[in-house]
Chains A and B, each alone.
Chain A
């Protein structure tokens, strides 16, 4: 089937098999491999994207369900030259190691700061608890979110 999705503001279309997830369509059909596939069952958050502004795991959404909707991926945050404040904060605090979880965590953190501009430590932990990271122990990720918040990322 043919689906039409606006990805990062740009209308895109792809031929998809009905069983394909939005994650597969984004990565393999639409040219947005930034979202990662690490569990394919909504446990790890590596494929976090915004569907009409709502944080979802792209692996749990069928490509067909996204037909006619807006999707924001990691590639849609910041620009080539200028980073989203959450992205910059991740680099500056050492919150990135292997980086496989990073796109999902950046999208989830940016979503948190959109909703809560000055989150408490508990709010940060709870908001990111659906995003697994195996390298960092999260400590520097929390620092990154606090740094981005202090710079008014959610303002």
Chain B
């Protein structure tokens, strides 16, 4: 039996419609080409030699045996990098290939290209690297007293607060009002979060093809084509025009593809051999191939009146950035900026420090600093509610910020910020009734392990609210280009390099263009650096706002030209959001009207069951309310909330990269667990529509807030069920039965 998709459902959908994905059909047919599916005639396979040490000097690299292997066409080291030897998203502190020192386990040291991937792997094993092992710096507090891991200070001179302690990537201090103000009551807590992996299903992959004229075409899965090119070209010693980045199908991203992985490596091998070279990481290598979510230690103190008004929050946040800077500076700023949650609090002292260590490098992951502090801040809110005997939801409503209120950075909130409405919407969701016993073991903590008949299983309901900024902040020149071509037959083509990573920006672009142009005859051109300007990063929940705004403006400009008499129109515009300025390095206060452009809020109510004898859990239900401004595609928006909740829940109950002396010990899906179909609870999702006057059609981005809130909300439910403090995530069975934190 086969069916034809309901006619008229594909290739249509305007702003506000539940439009079906334009790439849905090829994806369900197995016809969609992901980066790992790329092939080219004469293609070689690349493989990366990686450091087995977290910290070591490189004494010697001997490639002679490897290069003599059958089928091997090239073995390259740092000496073969023709241009800049280091690169980085914001600070060029990471070697393309390690030079004289390795700073983390799995750091790239050499490259091999061979006819067959197995030949490349075997040749890689024959690259003889002599190391002199150094003591790894693996504790983020001790890093501040250890010998510097980088010569000089790679992040100095960027206007950040001066800090003489070694290994500080950035130290952010936000001083708001009078942090010495006392309240009637005080709650304190220390919180900790493990390292989370993006665990996108499609490992890092790509294909580099020499163009025969010294330039290169790179087909890769990335979040930002143009900034990849900006980093790649100097290392290849090529002008940017000779480096073209094309988006190959992206198997999920979640922040992990914001930094480069195999792009420069494949290009080096391809230019060296003059053959197309493909690199595909396997799952283990993927754990070394991208940055992770910063693990954190957080010390929090909340002071409040007896009535529940929070008068002062003090929080100190330590973030382990691992071996290289990546986006740690911005993560630290976000952690501090959003530390107290979406509440109006007159006084605060918020301090975030990101440090270098020899642990796995950390950078962008969905939620970007806000996940860590939301976990701590919302635990504090529950604690405060408990101490004061106030309903936890009422306590949150009592302190909820609203437009006109001032954030700890001194920024007055403008536009859409429906904190109270979002809290109320989640609070109004009715959780499922407790299920009677006996039950199928699948519906009990322990699941198919059949560990209980229900005795010792306690049920708890938790709640949390979180928020974060959308789009880039602190003075970053943040833009998205869009180009629209109108043809004589009435059809249109839209070019926009905003990377589709699975989240559905392609359909947002198409829905906006169909709406603005008043036709369904709209195509989206392949996403590339070759035909249009930068789309900006697919991160910071920014593409719905940025791409939709850019495409809207480009369509309007195109219509204007057509109305002026041009038969065929081709216009490109660049959209910029409202200007932001940096935070004052000493006080953390805004230096202009704003450091952040807009915000999005998410609230969740969670039901969890805990077997308090065995410390096993079952997350039963999540009710989520997500502030969306206005949903451009409600179907896709729901999907973001559901998927985001799953990742936040994963951090709460199971996900952590384990390390021993800096060495990752669980780099596989056997040992690093992510939620399965049996782990994921039933969900109810409400989209709260409070249009933002500055957002396109009132829309705001929503990729991250569900993840920000879910970890905190799940932990809250587990505390309610177990009665344990649960100050560290992922929560362990030991903690659930009171044997550890």
Contacts and interface: CB of A to CB of B under 8 A. Distances in A.
Interface of A: 17, 19-20, 27, 32-41, 43-44, 46, 73-75, 77-88, 90-92, 94, 96-103, 106, 122, 124-126, 128-142, 151-153, 155
B201 A38 contact: yes
B564 interface: no
A93 B350 CA distance: 43
Interface string B239-257: 0000000000111111000
Contacts of B682: 139
B677 interface: yes
A129 B678 contact: yes
Contacts of B683: 137, 139
A30 B683 CA distance: 41
Interface string B11-41: 0000000101101110111111110110000
A129 B679 CA distance: 9
Interface of B: 1-6, 9-10, 18, 20-21, 23-25, 27-34, 36-37, 116, 118, 198-203, 249-254, 280, 282-283, 440, 442-443, 448, 501-504, 635-636, 638-639, 642-647, 668-670, 674-678, 680, 682-683
A52 to B, nearest CB: 20
* Most A-side CB within 10 Å, residue of B6, B32, B198, B668: B32
Given A41-B668, A84-B2, A88-B3, A100 B28 contact: no
Given A129-B676, A136-B643, A99 B669 contact: no
Contacts of B501: 98
Contacts of A38: 201-203, 251, 283, 669
A99 B23 CA distance: 9
Contacts of B118: 17, 19-20
Nearest to A80: B29
Given A19-B118, A41-B283, A85-B3, A134 B635 contact: no
8 contacts: A38-B203, A38-B669, A91-B28, A96-B24, A100-B34, A136-B643, A138-B646, A141-B677
Contacts of A83: 2-5, 25, 28-29
Contacts of B502: 97-100, 135
B29 A74 contact: yes
A131 B201 CA distance: 11
Given A83-B4, A91-B25, A135-B502, 9 more contacts: A37-B282, A40-B282, A43-B669, A92-B6, A98-B502, A102-B28, A134-B199, A134-B647, A135-B639
Contacts of B677: 124-126, 128-129, 131, 133, 138, 141-142
Nearest to A123: B442
B30 A46 contact: no
Contacts of B503: 97, 135
A36 to B, nearest CB: 7
Contact of A100 (B3, B201, B645, B678): B201
A28 B251 CA distance: 19
A143 to B, nearest CB: 10
A73 B28 CA distance: 12
